[in-house]
Amino acid sequence: MSDRDAEPARPPRLTALARSLPASVPFVGPEAQERALGRAFRARLGANENVFGPSPRAQEATRAAAAEAWMYGDPEAHELRAAIAAHHGARPENVMVGAGIDGILGDLCRLIVAPGTPVVSSDGAYPTFAYHVAGFGGRLVAVPYAADDREDPEALARAARECGAPLVYLANPDNPMGSWNGAEAVRAMLDALPPDCLLCLDEAYAEFAPEGVAPELPADDPRVIRMRTFSKAHGLAGLRVGYALGAPELISAFDKVRNHFGVGRLAQAAALAALGDRAWLDHVRAEVARARARIARIAQEAGLRALPSATNFVAVDCGRDGAFARRVVQALAARGVFVRMPFRAPQDRCIRISAGRPEDLDLLAEVLPAALTEARAG
């Protein structure tokens, strides 16, 4: 045996920043929970997936592209970018396609966030953004939600001015609360930001929002980068494709850091077909509206209160604290229903229920009273 063979194994030479971070993911997937439970969920209502499925055109495009899966996807996503640009009245140079909003957020943080950089977000907002900020050593400045469970654009802008942040994050409509701010509030926030601060406007749920929520902004506006996804209304969460709209100077900077082959051939084909199927999008919106109304009725019948929602989920106020809401989530999981909850007080008094099919919501209505009884006994 050589001296080299006798040497003890050494840990990987991680950076100091990597060593300081927890080995965790922002969300524990339902599959991991199913493995822990030893059985599959009967109703999957926790991940805000579109259970009504993708457009039939997108399904056909995916089947057709499957024979070409041996080829890499177009690293420029040329056809898809052109279609997205036309959809938004923009130019292809205003569009960057990436592996879902999560992937694009990581690239954005890589471009802007260095160790110690202050970044502003709401306390309890979408956790993947905070995950990426931490991953590049940024310092998250967390702003409380407003009293009505909305993100507070005025307070976010004020915090950005006070700490000199180059980046501030706002989800509109919001995840995890389903709340929203009107377009005028978003425009006022932009005007109140420092001139060298970029607004990351996450519009993952924009297709479900009422008129007057998404502001009409020039795609070339250098103050904002807007994020959209095919995971929600278009039902393509399993393929991981989203996009950003922004000024060409910012969009071109992504080529410095992005994974150029991160969006595969099937994903591009499916997204292109889904974008062109307006009738299916209208169908999904109608199904989601019906499901939101049903969730609100189920909550009311159980003595709970559903918050207004502009998304494909409903936050339901359990009326107590986060510990009680967590017991409700666990009791529902034990009965085969997967839901999630916000993770910061006071929003963690709620559970979050995704729009489901009639049979999913029938099961929810059946087991929720017993889950509440168990949680109260706990």
pLDDT in tens, 101-145: 999 999 999 999 999 999 999 999 999 999 999 999 999 999 999
For residue 48, the model assigns a pLDDT of 97
The answer to whether residues 57 and 243 touch, using CB atoms and an 8 Å cutoff, is no
Q: What is the 3-state secondary structure (H, E, C) of 238-274?
A: HHCCEEEECCHHHHHHHHHCCCCCCCCHHHHHHHHHH
Q: 1 pLDDT exceeds 60? A: no
Domains of the chain as residue ranges with CATH:
26-52+279-377 (3.90.1150.10), 56-276 (3.40.640.10)
**How, if at all, do strands 305-306 and 313-317 pair?**
antiparallel
Residues contacting residue 88 through CB under 8 Å, at least 6 positions apart = 94, 95, 219, 245
- Among 8-17, 104-113, 250-259, name the one with the lowest average pLDDT: 8-17
Q: 268 pLDDT exceeds 70? A: yes
Residue 26: count of CB within 10 angstroms of its CB: 13
For residue 11, the model assigns a pLDDT of 84
Report the distance separating Cα 142 and Cα 126, nearest Å: 12
Q: 6 pLDDT exceeds 70? A: no
The pLDDT confidence band at residue 24, using thresholds 50, 70 and 90, is confident
For residue 104, the model assigns a pLDDT of 98
The pLDDT confidence band at residue 9, using thresholds 50, 70 and 90, is confident
Mean pLDDT over the full length of the chain: 96
Q: 4 pLDDT exceeds 80? A: no
The answer to whether residues 267 and 240 touch, using CB atoms and an 8 Å cutoff, is yes
For residue 249, the model assigns a pLDDT of 98
**27-73, pLDDT tens digit by residue?**
889 999 999 999 999 999 999 999 999 999 999 999 999 999 999 99
For residue 5, the model assigns a pLDDT of 62
The answer to whether residues 213 and 238 touch, using CB atoms and an 8 Å cutoff, is no
Q: 257 pLDDT exceeds 60? A: yes
Give mean pLDDT, residues 209-238. 97
The answer to whether residues 242 and 231 touch, using CB atoms and an 8 Å cutoff, is yes
3-class SS of residue 114:
coil
